[in-house]
Structure formats: C-alpha cells, structure tokens
Amino acid sequence: MSKSLDRLTLLETFARIAERGSISAAARDLGMSQASASRQLKELEERLGTDLIRRTTHTLALTPAGQDCLAEARALIAAWDALVDRFAEQAGGLRGSLKVVAPVALGQLYLADAALRFQQAHPAVGIAWLLEDAAIRFAEIGCDLWIKIGPVPDETLVVRSLGSVERMIVAAPDLIGGKRIAGPGDLAALPCAALEPFEAGTIPLSAARGRHATVTAQVALATNNIFAVHKAALLGIGYAVLPRWFVERDLETGALVDVLPGWRAPALTIHAAYLPARRQRRRLAAFLDHMAEAVSAIPGVRAA
C-alpha cells in the first residue's frame, strides 16, 4: 500500500468515526475490527501531532483540531472521489458511494423505490439511505445529498428545487357528517389534527381568482409525525392538512374526503441540497436527475 493511499485511509477512518460518534460503529461500517479503527485514529493523531477526538466513558467529541481536520479530510476524500469519477466516466460506468438523507414519509413511500431503481441500474454505486424529518447538520452527518420538504436552513449548501407539493384539507366522512362545508369559515366548529411545524393555530388557504382566507383551528392533536396526523384524520379525531401524495389512495377509496375542493394550503417545495464543489461528482449528478424525474411522477407534485 502506498503512503498516499495509507494517509487517505487514515483520513477516511477518522471521518467515519467523527460522523458516527463511535469507534465501534465506524469499524462496523468500514468492515474492520474496533482495534484496527482505534489504531488508525491513533496513528493519524501521531502523524499530525495533536489530539483529534476527546474520549469520555460514553461519548466521543471532536477537539478544535479535530473539527478543522474533519473539514480538510472531507475535502481530500471528495477530491479523490472526483478523480475516481473522472476515470470511471472514461470507462462508462458509475461507481462509489452516496449518503442520502430524505424525509420519513416521502422517503419511505416513494423515494426509496426510486433510490433502489437507481442502484439496480448502477450496481457499483453503494447507497446509505437515512430517513429524517428534522433539520440536520449537513457537515456533521457527512452526507452527499439532503432531500427536504420546505426551506433548507443552511446557506452553505447548493439547493435545487425538485417540485412543489399540493396540500389539501381532508377529513373522515364521519367527522363531516351532515355538516355543510361551503367555505373555510365553516371549519371553525370542527377539531383539527395539526402537523407541526407546517400548521399550528391558523391555516392560510387560497383559491382561484386570488381569493385568500385564514382558518382559526381548534387543535385537538399537534404532532410532528405525519403518520400520526393521518391516523387521526382516518379516525375522525380532526381534519388535517396533508399532501395529496400521502392521501391519494384514501381519496380514491373514500376513507378521506377533500373537504374544500376549491381551496388549498400553501404548497411546499421539495428541495435537494448538497455541498458546492469545483466539479460535481458524476454519480451525484446522475442521482439528482433520477430523483427529479421520480418526484415529478408523484401524485400531487408539480415538477420544478
């Protein structure tokens, strides 16, 4: 093994330990023993002449030098990957790895299938597929791509719009009963199952010809879990604002009804975010295009 490759291996091991927060977890990811990963970390610290990780009984934390080293390590690893990509391009294939973070429901119900189809077409590309609705610290997780519904709160990232999501007010037929729902104001007497952080006590709505209204909701359930909101709507606990892609089948079967067909909640944008680079990795560019096509085929999503 050459010295250059050996140094890169040490940096890759350190980066994985930093991302996982655990030497044993990083060792499992890299297919080596915990002792080997510890030795590589120690060797890197000896070569650099400084401690990179502060060890306690239960946790690992980066030292200031470790934080600087992690940023440099990722840049060097990315440069190596770009070089590999360039020669892989000459050979005609995609290879390497992609670490992707996607929203839980959309990632589970639609995007996972798209990711698997991409992997079928490019078997030399390994994909780490993580589902998370909360905002992430992109640099700490060390991912290649973050797919997020709504704004991306990180100005250091390149953000690409994949599509906008139609959102509607739905309810179980039993909740509506014989009540006449002619307009937004008629919802005031009904309970609401609110999906945070998108809805709270007030729900803005819009309709054709520039009409706007605001519903003051009686929140019976507030949660950040879309599956809980969906279940509450099905059980008649309250009406809910949900994306069409999530309730399309329920609307077809009649389990849920579109309470105000002429009115819609503000659309949300599906974003893809990634680090700026001098030369975007070919596999990431191909995966992004594949995801954009997959998103455009989701019910109730308008392609960017």
Residue 148 lies inside a defined structural domain of this protein: no
162 class by beta-carbon count within 10 Å (0-12 exposed, 13-18 middle, 19+ buried) = buried
Residue range of the domain that includes 61? 1-92
Residue 88 lies inside a defined structural domain of this protein: yes
Residue 200 near residue 194, CB atoms below 8 Å: yes
Q: Give pLDDT tens digits for 156-193.
A: 899 999 999 999 999 999 999 878 788 999 998 899 99
Residue 123 lies inside a defined structural domain of this protein: no
Residue 186 lies inside a defined structural domain of this protein: yes
pLDDT at 147: 97
Integer Cα distance of 231 and 250 in angstroms: 11
pLDDT at 278: 54
pLDDT at 223: 93
Number of domains in the chain: 2
For every residue of 199-226, DSSP letters joined together read -SSEEEEEEGGGEEEEEE-EEEEEES-H
Task: Give the domain CATH number at 33.
Answer: 1.10.10.10
Residue 296 lies inside a defined structural domain of this protein: no
Phi–psi pair at 119, nearest 5 degrees = -70, -35
Provide, rounded to the nearest whole percent, the portion of the chain with pLDDT above 70: 93
Whether residue 216 has pLDDT greater than 80 = yes
How far is residue 72 from each of residues 63, 144, 151, measured CA to CA in Å?
Answer: 14, 16, 28
Residue 66 lies inside a defined structural domain of this protein: yes
**Helix (H) or strand (E) segment spanning residue 165:** strand 158-171
Integer Cα distance of 172 and 128 in angstroms: 37
Residue 56 lies inside a defined structural domain of this protein: yes
pLDDT at 4: 44
What is the pLDDT confidence band of residue 89, given thresholds at 50, 70 and 90? Answer: low
Residue 138 lies inside a defined structural domain of this protein: no
pLDDT at 56: 75
**Model's pTM, two decimal places?**
0.74
- For β-strands 218-223 and 240-243, DSSP reports them as unpaired
Q: Give pLDDT tens digits for 220-241.
A: 999 989 999 999 999 999 999 9
Tokens of 186: 């008629």
